[in-house]
Amino acid sequence: MSLTSHTFHIPVMGTSYTADTPARVAPFGISSVVSLVDDLLLERFRKIYAKKFQLEYEPIPQKEPDGRAKRITAYLNTLAEVVKIRFEAIKKQPFFSKNDKAKYFEMLPTGHPLRILYLKLMGMKDAPQNEREEIESTLTHGMVEGSIDVNIMVKLDRKPPNPNGKEPLSDECTDAKTALKGYAKASLRNTAIVFSAGINQSLYNYMAQFKEFYRNAAGEISKKIIVKASDFRSALIQGKYLARKGLEVSEYRIESGLNCGGHAFPSQGLLLPAILKEMHSQRELLHLFKDSPPPKVTVQGGIGNHAEDLRMREYYNIDGTGWGTPFLLVPEASPVDIKTRDQLIKSTPKDLYMSEASPLDIYFNNLRGSGSAEWHQQQIEKGKPGSPCLKGFLQNNTEFSEQPVCKASRFYQQSKLKQINESDASEEQKELLRKSLYVKQCICDHLGNSGLICLEEETDVPQAICPGPNIAWFNRCYSLQEMADHIYGRIPDLTPPERPHMFAKEVEMYGDWFALQVENFNGDKSHANWLRIAAKNFDEGMDYCLEIANLKPFPGENLASIPPMVEIEKARLKKNLGVLESK
């Protein structure tokens, strides 16, 4: 563990829920990740923060040449300025006062040398001033900001229409590439870019032209690369591809395929414990640059208490953990509007579900009754299904047009509805088709609205949110320090003892996922073989979960919840395999 960092980070959450999180938590040494999908949203955040901190602000119009990259660069530069202002103010605060400087050191990991030294200082209130001053100087000089990291969902690489004419834009003007360029040109140093949602060779090839991602003459990399992967094989493939470009991966961020927030990318039945086991035994293969330090490995997705955090770090030798969803209930960390936060507080496991709301046809973790869901239902009842496509980041369908459109757009939904109504299908089949059409929601625009409402920039706009199922076990708002103390096990567990272990919850979610695959199976033989392998992986993963359940639990670890869940899901898997074979 670095002497200057926490053992946890706050992963990207939607387009707005961590958009300004670095401004909130980086002054306390906590790292977090900003989504670069929505540059128009980031431009609005930039205006808000420039005004709040009296910084220079010159708007970058939507039709500005290379405007997307420029907006991203400008916002990240503003974030860096805000963090510096807040951080320097904290450093100047006195010791022996209940202030943010005290909070900075109190929140550090329990065994962190600076925290230990701080606690020693707190016991020296009556010691000679010269003795205290030396320690105070050491502590202040040891303070370091958290990292302002960014995330690119690499499959969101649309080539947008040219806002200034009919001539098509060049291949370097796609959404992912311009986001990458915006980050590369920003003033940030010692930060990282996270690549999620698979591999994009064209994007990786483009990245090779920026010197910021390579080691300089001093052997330092100012902008590091983090690869988010759902299994070891994916991590290794991406690492090797980047290595051929001379690009080092500084960290592999393993995420549960289903037990997470946002878009879900289920593996072929591989459970997180089995992935971590392979990662632990094969980790040396990821060390592709032998003259450089080995890459870190972190894990995220469903971690809910200190005991599970210890399981990751001490049993699997993981370097750090990602905690996302619980921070939605920490107003100091995440901009969530009051109505949505109240819904999260009151949510139960039944309110959180794996939906098909994403226009990308990727599973999307969702909250029942969200402002966005209510708004879409109202549009359906008015006979105007779909949403105005205000930003177009998810446009990928050409069924009714030459230019790609979004499946949640009013144009697509009304065109599809007309096709359904005029088809020869039975009324029962038509109703099923309408239902599958209406489920698509505008997550492109609506995911940003909650943050704007929270910052008093918007009022009556629909809010989408994408929490992981973990949120059901957190039932009020928490302070930043309280959540840090929960993660490090310094206070009583904030979650109830009946909360199932993260491994048990993932088993249940993969059981639901496999049942859905069988229900939707259309008779394709190759897909049947794929599902048989997925079932085998799932079954073997559950066996391994039972091995984990027989180990000595860390204090507060609910390993006892794993065996009954495995028993239920093994029986369900057997039943669903029978259904699959009959189909």
Return the pLDDT at 134: 93
242: which 2 tokens?
A: 């980047």
pLDDT band at 4 (very low <50, low <70, confident <90, very high): low
Return the pLDDT at 160: 79
For the cut 90, the answer to whether the pLDDT of residue 5 exceeds it is no
201 Cβ contact list (under 8 Å, min separation 6): 241
pLDDT, tens digit, 9 for 90 and up, residues 48-75: 999 999 999 999 998 899 999 999 999 9
- Which H or E run includes 196? strand 191-196
Return the pLDDT at 158: 82
411 Cβ contact list (under 8 Å, min separation 6): 386, 389, 400, 401, 405
As a whole number, mean pLDDT of residues 290-303 equals 95
23: which 2 tokens?
A: 């401004």
Instruction: Give the CA angle between residues 221, 222, 223 to the nearest 5°.
Output: 95
Return the pLDDT at 12: 96
Q: What is the value of pTM for the model shown?
A: 0.94
Lowest pLDDT segment from 238-242, 328-332, 388-392: 388-392
As a whole number, mean pLDDT of residues 439-460 equals 92
Complete DSSP assignment for 307-362: HHHHIIIIIS--SEEE--GGGGG-TTT----HHHHHHHHH--GGGEEEE---TTSS
As a whole number, mean pLDDT of residues 488-494 equals 97
pLDDT, tens digit, 9 for 90 and up, residues 107-119: 999 999 999 999 9
pLDDT band at 157 (very low <50, low <70, confident <90, very high): confident
Return the pLDDT at 85: 98
* Cα–Cα nearest to 325, from 372, 270, 365: 365
Q: What percent of the chain has pLDDT over 70?
A: 99
For the cut 50, the answer to whether the pLDDT of residue 2 exceeds it is no
What structural domains and CATH numbers belong to the chain? Answer: 8-126+140-336 (3.20.20), 352-454 (no CATH), 500-582 (no CATH)
pLDDT, tens digit, 9 for 90 and up, residues 282-294: 999 999 999 999 9
For the cut 70, the answer to whether the pLDDT of residue 261 exceeds it is yes
**Averaged confidence pLDDT in the chain:** 94
pLDDT, tens digit, 9 for 90 and up, residues 410-449: 999 999 999 999 999 999 999 999 999 999 999 989 999 9
Looking only at the bridges linking them, the beta strands covering 320-322 and 8-9 are: parallel
Q: What percent of the chain has pLDDT over 90?
A: 86
pLDDT band at 230 (very low <50, low <70, confident <90, very high): confident
Instruction: Find out whether 66 and 60 touch, Cβ atoms under 8 Å.
Output: no
As a whole number, mean pLDDT of residues 205-229 equals 94
pLDDT band at 125 (very low <50, low <70, confident <90, very high): confident
As a whole number, mean pLDDT of residues 96-102 equals 97
For the cut 70, the answer to whether the pLDDT of residue 3 exceeds it is no
529 Cβ contact list (under 8 Å, min separation 6): none
